[in-house]
Amino acid sequence: MQMDGKTVLITGASRGIGAAAARAFANAGANVALLARSTDEIAQIAGDIGEKAIAIPCDVSRYAEVAGAVAATAKAFGGLDVLINNAGAVDPIGHLQDTDPEAWSRTIDINVKGVMHGLHAVMPGMIAQGHGTIINISSGAAHGPVEGWSAYCSSKAAVYMLTRAADKEARDKGLRILGLSPGTVATQMQREIKASGINPVSQLDWSVHIPPEWPAQALLWMCTAAADPYLGDDVSLREDDIRKAVGLI
C-alpha cells in the first residue's frame, strides 16, 4: 500500500482518525495536507512529519476556506489524488425535544456541508486529471437510529447518500468514491459520548474501542484496487473479512 508521489488531503486532521491517517499516509510515501480549525495541533503534526506535510487552518463548514485549502494543496504538491472527508462532530447529544436547534444545525454544517464542500472543491480537478479517490468517514449511525444522536445520525445518513450520489455521477469519469464506517474508535469523540451517559454506546468499556491507527490503515487499503467492490458504498471495519483484508487480523 505504497503512496509514493501521491498527495492526500485530510480534514479534521488535528486528532483521532485524521491525525493517525496523516501519519499513515506520510509513512506510505504520500504528501499530506492536514486541515483543521485547531491550528497548533495540525502544525505540530505536520512538523513531526516533515517536508512532505503542510498544515492549513480550515473550517470545513465554510466553502471558501475548503476551496482555498484544496487550491493551496494542489499548488504545494503539484496536484491532489486523495481526499479524506474526516472532520465531524457528535454534539449535541441529547433527546431531540431538549436539543438546542442552533447546536443541531452546527453539526449539520460540519458533518454534511463539510463533506459536500470537500466533494465540490476536489471533483473538478480530479475529473480533469481522470483519476482520484474520495473517502467519506461514515458510521453505523448512518444506517440506524441511536438515542440522543439525532444530529449525528441524520448527518451521517446524509453523508452516506452523498457518497452514493457522487459515485453515481463520477465513477465513469475515473473517480473512486466510497465511505469508511470504522465502528467505535478510542478518540476524543468517544470521551464525549461516554460523558453524556446517554444510550448503550456511552456505557461501553474503553477497552472495546479500536485504536485510531486501525481506520487509518483501512483508509490506506481503500486507496487500492482491492477496495473497488465497495465503490459507492460503506466499508465496515467491524467486519472480520474487512479487518483481514486490511491486515488487522
Angle, helix 150-170 to helix 101-108, in steps of 10 degrees = 30
**137: β partners:** 180
63 as an active site residue: the answer is no
Looking at residue 233, its amino acid is D
Integer Cα distance of 125 and 127 in angstroms? 5
Q: Which of 63, 152, 160, 230 is catalytic?
A: 152
**32: β partners:** 8, 53
Integer Cα distance of 111 and 81 in angstroms? 22
Angle, helix 63-77 to helix 114-129, in steps of 10 degrees = 40
Residues designated as active site: 152
